[in-house]
Structure 1
Amino acid sequence: MTAEPAVTPFAALHDRPGEPLLLPNAWDHASAAALAARGFAAIATTSLAVAAATGLPDGQAATRDHTLRLALTLGSDPYLLSVDAEAGFSDDPGEVAEFARQLWAVGVVGINLEDGLGPAARHAAKIAAVKAAVPGLFVNARTDTYWLGDGHGRDAEAETLRRLDAYRQAGADGVFVPGLTDPGRIGTLVRHLDAPLNILYSPAGPTVPRLADLGVRRISLGSLLYRRALGAALDAMADIVAGTVPGGTTPSYDEVCALERSIAVSRSATSTG
């Protein structure tokens, strides 16, 4: 008789009814360290920021090596790391599984894989290959029916459920529907799914407490923090040009350096403990 695989600490964060995993997305070592210092036990990356930082297009499988380098930088830090891997940077399930193995080897505990509204069978094959290669890696399977599709009517709901069911059967640990903000439709999905539902937070959508009430188990920030950081930089420059003092939070030079030192100390303790 085969024993059930042990529940990982990251998976356990998706199994707290009424207390969804609020997952902020970092884009470099400093942003991840700052979020960890605020008490977030799990942090994800954002593909838009990885692409923007290198002048490459997002969602076009152009940032595989950059994503892996960022994972190498962040994966050994004292928090649980999930990586946004677009569609796995390949249509070949074996190549996607190999990328997942490389992530796991540097300390990554979760991967987000998007279907881009391509064939559901192809995406399911990628998920199955990843789970066969790295059973302990938490696979969050994303469908873009609301992100790239029109998201209207019963057809959208039926297609979303069809895709998520296929991904779940392929071994996905959680499912993700970015772009969905209607509380009624979110509640319907929660009732029909047997896996944790991940929703992308939107300032125009339900609040975190409301999403928790609806049964959502994971709330991602996506590229929001990165875009807000860029916006804050532009606002600060506008204030400086206008002769006023920039508002908002500005960590000091020493505070940023202290973040890096705290991570280094935690790494040392982990390696010697």
Structure 2
Amino acid sequence: MTGGGATAGAHGGETRDGAREFAALHHRAGAPLLLPNAWDHASAAALAAEGFAAVGTTSLGVAAAAGLPDGAGAAREETLAVARRLGGGAWLLSVDAEGGFSDDPDEVASFVGELAGAGAVGVNLEDGRADGTLTPADVHAAKVAAVKAAVPGVFVNARTDTHWLRPAGPDETGRRLTAYQQAGADGVFVPGLSDPERIAALVRTLGVPLNVLYAPDGPTVAELGALGVARVSLGSLLFRRALGAAVAAAADVRAGRRPAGPVPGYDAVQALSDV
């Protein structure tokens, strides 16, 4: 298996230590990595053209685009196919791999090895399940450990859904994050956490970078950076906004209104194929 370290550069076949670059983006005091999430080549290339050095994938966008449910382990092949299309491009790629599409740590490690082989330098692994329960902490920690043993160059962002799937106090969240750190996670992700005091308190207990999900009604990226957050993900926000904008434009035309909002030109979109 590849360690996901060197990836093709944007110029003349140069190689770059993508894994090291990606990890370094999580260690800039007061300047968190803002990670936008794409669902296909065009969305990733457009984000890179806007100056985003790293791009993640959104599991909802990848699954929904294929007519599959998110978080149910149904989009394994679609996730790998997107990684193969996006990996090794002019951006650093992190893949949302749901729960690894298995509860067998070796199978999860093998899958992440395939993602790394496709050019991914980071991966998200979540402990939430489609039935609304959480994977036992020891099982999820074993997945993290297996991945780090098999593909040590990949940045593993271990996600806990304690704030989404059930009411959880800081003890439950902290217990899980401690287990994932001890298993070798390079960073931890707590979507649904937006209270500044709780974020600051959690940062003080961690030994690895904290990732939170951007909330439109929550702190700004700059405010999150001041709290010690190292990475801010946009999750499925861009995909959902794009879907909403498309439907709204069609409805506007049907109603005799001019669609609002920016529209990339045909040639601009064609040019994304060369990125």
- What TM-score do the two structures reach when normalised by structure 2? 0.90
- Aligned equivalent of 1:170: 183
Q: CA deviation at 1:213?
A: 0.9
> Is 2:214 the partner of 1:201?
yes
What pairs with 1:110-149 in structure 2 (closer than 5 Å)? 110-116=122-128, 117-149=134-166
Quick one: which of 21, 28, 32 aligns to 1:9? 21
Quick one: which of 189, 192, 196 aligns to 2:205? 192
Aligned CA RMSD, in angstroms, stands at: 1.2
> Is 2:258 the partner of 1:245?
yes
Deviates more, 1:111-120 or 1:142-151: 142-151
Quick one: which of 49, 54, 57 aligns to 1:42? 54
Q: CA deviation at 1:109?
A: 0.1
What pairs with 1:252-267 in structure 2 (closer than 5 Å)? 252-261=265-274, 263=275
State the distance in 2 between where 1:214 and 1:124 align.
Answer: 26
State the distance in 2 between where 1:58 and 1:235 align.
Answer: 24
State the distance in 2 between where 1:165 and 1:206 align.
Answer: 25
What pairs with 1:213-232 in structure 2 (closer than 5 Å)? 213-232=226-245
Q: CA deviation at 1:238?
A: 1.9
- Aligned equivalent of 2:11: none
- Aligned equivalent of 1:95: 107
Q: CA deviation at 1:76?
A: 1.7
Q: CA deviation at 1:23?
A: 0.1
**Residue 146 of structure 1 aligns to a residue in which SS?**
helix
State the distance in 2 between where 1:30 and 1:83 align.
Answer: 16
Q: CA deviation at 1:239?
A: 1.3
Q: Deviations over 1:36-62 (max 9, x none)?
A: 000000000000011101111110111
State the distance in 1 between where 2:91 and 2:222 align.
Answer: 24
Q: Unaligned 5+ residue runs, structure 1?
A: 264-273
State the distance in 1 between where 2:44 and 2:21 align.
Answer: 19
- What TM-score do the two structures reach when normalised by structure 1? 0.91
> Is 2:72 the partner of 1:60?
yes
State the distance in 2 between where 1:170 and 1:109 align.
Answer: 19
Q: Deviations over 1:131-175 (max 9, x none)?
A: 000010000000010011224xxxx11110100000000000000
State the distance in 1 between where 2:268 and 2:43 align.
Answer: 13
Percent same amino acid among aligned pairs? 67
- Aligned equivalent of 1:269: none
Moved over 4 A (4+): none
